[in-house]
A = this chain, B = another copy of it.
Amino acid sequence: MERVSLARRAANLSPTVDASGHSSGIGFDSGHGFPGIFPDLTSSAVRALNEYRAETLQYAERPGMPELRAWIAEYLNSAGATVGADEILVVNGAKHGIELICRTLLDPGDAIVVTAPTYFTAVPLFRSFEVDFIEVGQDDEGLDTDELAVTLDRWVRSGRKPPKFVYNVPEFHNPTGLTMSRHRRQALLALAHQYGTWILEDSPYREIRFEGAPEPSLLALDDQRCVLHVGTFSKLIAPGIRIGWVVGPVEMLARMMQLKSDGGSSPLLQRMIFEWLNQGNLPGHIDLARGAYQAHRDCMVAALHRDLPEIAFKTPGGGYYVWLTLPGGIDGDELARRAADKGVLVIPGSKFYAGSSGGFPNNEGHPRNRLRLTYSYPTEEQINEGVKRLGAVLRSMRN
């Protein structure tokens, strides 16, 4: 991996590299992919638009393109799952999959379990279904299943219905970067079985691994069919592809299909990505993505040690994010505002807490001194410059 050449590739892709609205600042705030590694899909597109024109410009089959569904099943099964193509629904990205699951399962007043903190943009989506949140903490082994067991016991003893699902990002969690241990995964599956609760496994970062061996997915460990698994090509290949998938029971997918108002996810995008995958491009691209994001992570970690020695964080073993604990008196929201004034966009930790309902758990409120930084999108030059500015902002707040 030559960093210089990647940076140059990104620069060559201007002038639209900043079309996302980041032109005015250094973007440590988004889950955008690094433009320097976006693949060349031209030949797949040409093939899709010519050889397959009558398919790709027509209405699509509602569940998704059969060959793509089979490819996704095989991809998951090669990592230990045992799913059939008929258990795959193609959707317009992971969030679309989460929304369809919510629309299928949730009624107003239902409870769901989320980690504290949890994936930022899922919170308003969940909230729009008028759910009660049950928050559960995390430690170095990921979601704290001992705490969850106690909370669920109290919840059910108080006469309430068990939560409809436990939502989690088990690998390289957004925002904390934590990964669930094997033991915790098994404990979570046991709890789900005990309470008749679904697990919503959202796993966009699984392949963006820099170190160590992967744990089996919750889907692969699930022998009770209580896992609804959401995947996407967005974080692995490119967000613009807008193709993801849901794995679930056939009868539940049938209901989701009825709720899909898109006339079937784009057949052109499905055929394009299938042709690209089918040509064997994925393994090489995973290497490229891992190398690039690891370089970005290394750059950001080094910059944090250099320019923000007073903050604490755990170096993420994969994914896009690093989760900072600021010195005690520093308010993350205030720091984010001041950083924006200096052209550095970050998201304060406060945005990542759903807020618990009915005293579960009865916490003292969420910490105010957290901050999420993304290293996926910015160049290494921007990472160095942005962290340097953050250091100056932090010092200005301590004086």
Interface residues of A (CB under 8 A from B): 10, 13-14, 16-17, 19-21, 30-33, 35, 38-42, 45-46, 49-50, 52-61, 92-93, 95-96, 98-99, 124-125, 128, 234, 238-242, 258-259, 261-263, 265-269
A16 CB → nearest B CB, Å: 4
Q: Interface centre among A58, A125, A239, A259, by most B CB within 10 Å?
A: A58
Contact B38 A54, beta carbon cutoff 8 Å: yes
- Residues on B with C-beta less than 8 A from A19 are 54-55, 58, 61
**Once the chains are docked, how many angstroms separate the CA of A14 from the CA of B238?**
30
Task: Indicate how many identical chains form the complex.
Answer: 2
Q: Which residue in chain B gives the minimum CB-CB distance to A56?
A: B240
A-B contacts, 7 listed (Cβ < 8 Å): A21-B61, A31-B59, A38-B53, A46-B46, A55-B240, A92-B266, A234-B263
Minimal beta-carbon separation of A93 from chain B (angstroms)? 5
Residue among A13, A61, A99 having the largest count of chain B Cβ atoms under 10 Å: A13
A33 partner, pick from B10, B57, B98, beta carbons under 8 A: B57
Q: Are B59 and A261 neighbours in the complex by a CB distance under 8 Å?
A: no
- Of the candidates B35, B57, B92, B261, the one whose C-beta lies within 8 Å of that of A58 is B35
Task: State whether A41 and B35 are in contact (beta carbons under 8 Å apart), knowing that A239-B57, A258-B124 are contacts in the complex.
Answer: no
**Nearest B residue (CB) for A99:** B261
- A92 adjacent to B16 (CB under 8 Å): no
With contact pairs A49-B45, A95-B263, A99-B261 given, residues A17 and B54 touching in the complex (Cβ less than 8 Å): yes
Say how far A67's CB is from chain B's closest CB, in angstroms: 10
Query: Is B60 a contact partner of A98 (Cβ separation < 8 A)?
Result: no
Please name all residues of chain B whose beta carbon is closer than 8 Å to the beta carbon of A93 when the two chains form the complex: 261-263
- CB <8 Å contact, A239 and B58: yes
Cβ-defined partner of A262 (8 Å) among B54, B59, B60, B96: B96
Shortest Cβ-Cβ A-B pairs, 3 listed? A57-B238, A35-B54, A99-B261
Nearest opposing residue in chain B for A60, CB measure: B240
A253 to B239, CA, bound (A): 23
Which residues does chain B contribute within 8 Å of A55, judged by CB atoms?
16-17, 19, 240
- With A30-B59, A58-B239, A59-B239 known to touch, is A266 a contact of B263 (CB < 8 Å)? no
Q: How far is the CB of A179 from chain B (nearest CB, A)?
A: 24
- By the criterion CB–CB under 8 Å, are B32 and A42 in contact? no
Contact: A268 with B239, CB < 8 Å?
no
Given contacts A234-B263, A267-B240, contact A20 B125 (CB under 8 A): no
B52 touches A16 (CB 8 A): yes
Q: Measured between alpha carbons, how far is A389 from B124 in the docked complex, in Å?
A: 54
- For A16, list chain B residues within 8 Å (CB): 52, 54-55
Distance (Å) between the CB of A62 and the closest chain B CB? 10
User: A41 to chain B: which residues have CB within 8 Å?
Assistant: 49, 57
Q: Which residues of B contact A92 (CB under 8 A)?
A: 92, 261-263, 266
Residues of B within 8 A of A60 (CB): 240
Q: Which residues of B contact A46 (CB under 8 A)?
A: 42, 45-46
Q: Are A259 and B61 in contact (CB under 8 A)?
A: no
Residues in chain B near residue A239, CB distance under 8 A: 57-59, 263
Nearest B-chain residue to A21, judged by Cβ: B61
Q: A14 is contacted by which of B50, B54, B268 (Cβ under 8 Å)?
A: B54
Q: In the docked arrangement, what's the CA distance between A388 and B38, Å?
A: 53
A61 and B53 alpha carbons, distance in the complex (Å): 28
Are the CB atoms of B240 and A58 closer together than 8 Å?
yes
Which of B10, B42, B96 is within 8 Å of A54, CB to CB?
B10
**Complexed CA–CA distance, A265 and B262 (Å):** 11
Contact: B50 with A42, CB < 8 Å?
Answer: yes
A61 to chain B, nearest CB (A): 7
* Shortest CB distance A30–B (Å): 7
